[in-house]
């Protein structure tokens, strides 16, 4: 059974185009209408054939939709929803894929006070952006977290759950505030650390840039993959999930200071016991199917 018949995707970058490709593959009878603010992206989406129709305005895109998914940077969600508010059918469900949920829920409900809004976050992605970067299996075996507000109709939540399940995702419901705290640790803080380390190396005097790149296989290059993520998307994530990120950053700074002390005073047992704990976390991630066990992230040698 198809949970929706007419899907509109606003924002046809990595995530939006992956949703479109996944729907084409798994729910081919669903009609897909797309819109993106960037005319070059719209043109590319037409050339790739990932939507049935690509419109020049977001209003035209939502006209008879039964599901609208916003796949734009989190800071743009409210403005995009305001653009199409007057054209949105009363019974359409509005959702999104934003990496933070509280700020997006507030932005959407402020401009769409009467709409059925069910925010969502597929915890899947890559460091690439744009319509060419998407692929139909991006969400397969990954989690998609729905953060419905208290008054959300059960039937709407169920339809969205089935939609994401058909794209291959495992679906979980969560409170938006809790989501933002969990993702601050599992996603936002790691990105901040990667941006910092790569920035620090770039600023170093005495180590030429070519040496940093030449010897990057010592660990640095794994951070550069994360630090290559889209600058606009991540600027918006940190500004939107400010409180949770600052709280996690505070805890991280304290733990870093403790490690600094352990190194300074030669407390090898403290270092070893932490490193043993963290190695077990890696094992659990592999055991739960959230990564595969290939050595060196599966790189060919
Ligand atoms: P992306 O590849 O940069 O795609 C975003 C697209 O939205 C771009 O084509 C952008 O056009 C367009 N856009 C920006 N403002 C718009 C507006 N006002 N109206 C219509 N289109 C607009 O980014 P993405 O990685 O797909 O991220 C999209 C969303 O998914 C974000 O909210 C992000 O937090 C979330 N997300 C990302 C990941 C990930 O790993 N990347 C994972 C999970 C969730 P321009 O060419 O003008 O920029």
CATH of the domain at 258: 1.10.3660.10
* 83 half-sphere exposure, CB direction, 13 A CA radius: 17
59 lines ligand 1 (CB under 6 A): no
- How many CB atoms sit inside 10 A of residue 290's CB? 12
Distance 53 CA to ligand 1 centre (A): 19
14 and 148, same domain (yes or no) = yes
183 lines ligand 1 (CB under 6 A): no
Distance 141 CA to ligand 1 centre (A): 22
CATH of the domain at 160: 3.40.50.720
Q: How far apart are CA 101 and CA 175, in angstroms?
A: 9
Look at residue 45 and tell me whether its pLDDT is greater than 90.
Answer: yes
Specify the pTM: 0.95
The domain in which residue 77 lies consists of 6-174
Among 174, 193, 226, the domain boundary falls at: 174
Give per-residue pLDDT as tens, 80-113: 999 999 999 999 999 999 999 999 999 999 999 9
11 lines ligand 1 (CB under 6 A): yes
19 and 131, same domain (yes or no) = yes
22 lines ligand 1 (CB under 6 A): no
Query: Measured between alpha carbons, how far apart are the two ends of the chain, in Å?
Result: 45
Work out which ligand 1 atom sits closest to the CA atom of 100.
34
Q: How far apart are CA 113 and CA 134, in angstroms?
A: 32
Q: Is residue 139 situated within a structural domain?
A: yes
134 and 76, same domain (yes or no) = yes
Among 120, 145, 174, the domain boundary falls at: 174
Output the pLDDT for position 109. 97
Q: Is residue 31 situated within a structural domain?
A: yes
Q: Is residue 295 situated within a structural domain?
A: no
Among 130, 145, 174, the domain boundary falls at: 174
CB 118 within 8 A of CB 97: no
Output the pLDDT for position 207. 77
Q: Which of 23-27, 104-108, 115-119, 200-204 has the lowest mean pLDDT?
A: 200-204
223 and 75, same domain (yes or no) = no
Counting the structural domains of the chain, the total is 2
Per-residue exposure over 26-42, b if at least 16 CB sit within 10 Å of its own CB, e if not = bbeebbbbbbbbeeebb
Output the pLDDT for position 296. 83
* 122 half-sphere exposure, CB direction, 13 A CA radius: 29
97 and 213, same domain (yes or no) = no
Q: Which runs of E-coded beta strand occur in 41-191?
A: 53-54, 67-70, 93-96, 116-117, 120-122, 143-146, 170-173
């Amino acid at each position: 059974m198809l949970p929706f018949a007419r899907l509109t995707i606003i924002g046809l970058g990595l995530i939006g185009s992956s949703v479109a490709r996944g729907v084409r593959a798994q729910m081919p009878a669903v009609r897909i209408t797309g819109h993106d603010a960037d005319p070059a992206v719209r043109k590319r989406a037409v050339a790739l054939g990932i939507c049935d129709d690509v419109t020049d305005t977001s209003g035209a895109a939502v006209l008879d939709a039964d599901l609208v998914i916003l796949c734009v940077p989190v800071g743009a969600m409210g403005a995009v929803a305001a653009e199409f508010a007057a054209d949105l059918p009363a019974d359409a469900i509005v959702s999104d894929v934003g990496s933070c949920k509280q700020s997006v829920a507030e932005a959407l409900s402020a401009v769409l006070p009467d709409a059925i809004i069910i925010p969502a976050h597929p915890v899947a992605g890559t460091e690439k952006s744009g319509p060419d970067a998407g692929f139909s299996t991006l969400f397969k075996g990954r989690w998609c977290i729905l953060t419905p507000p208290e008054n959300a109709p059960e039937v709407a939540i169920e339809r969205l759950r089935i939609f994401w399940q058909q794209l291959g995702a495992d679906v979980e419901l969560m409170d938006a505030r809790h989501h933002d705290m969990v993702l601050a640790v599992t996603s936002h803080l790691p990105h901040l650390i990667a941006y910092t380390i790569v920035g620090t190396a770039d600023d170093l005097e005495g180590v030429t840039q070519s040496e940093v790149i030449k010897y990057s296989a010592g660990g640095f290059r794994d951070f550069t993959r994360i630090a290559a993520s889209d600058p606009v998307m991540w600027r918006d994530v940190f500004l939107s999930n400010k409180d949770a990120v600052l709280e996690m950053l505070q805890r991280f700074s304290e733990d870093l200071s403790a490690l600094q002390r352990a190194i300074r005073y030669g407390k090898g047992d403290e270092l070893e016991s932490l490193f043993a704990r963290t190695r077990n976390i890696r094992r659990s991630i592999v055991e739960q199917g959230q990564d595969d066990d290939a050595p060196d992230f599966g790189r060919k040698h």
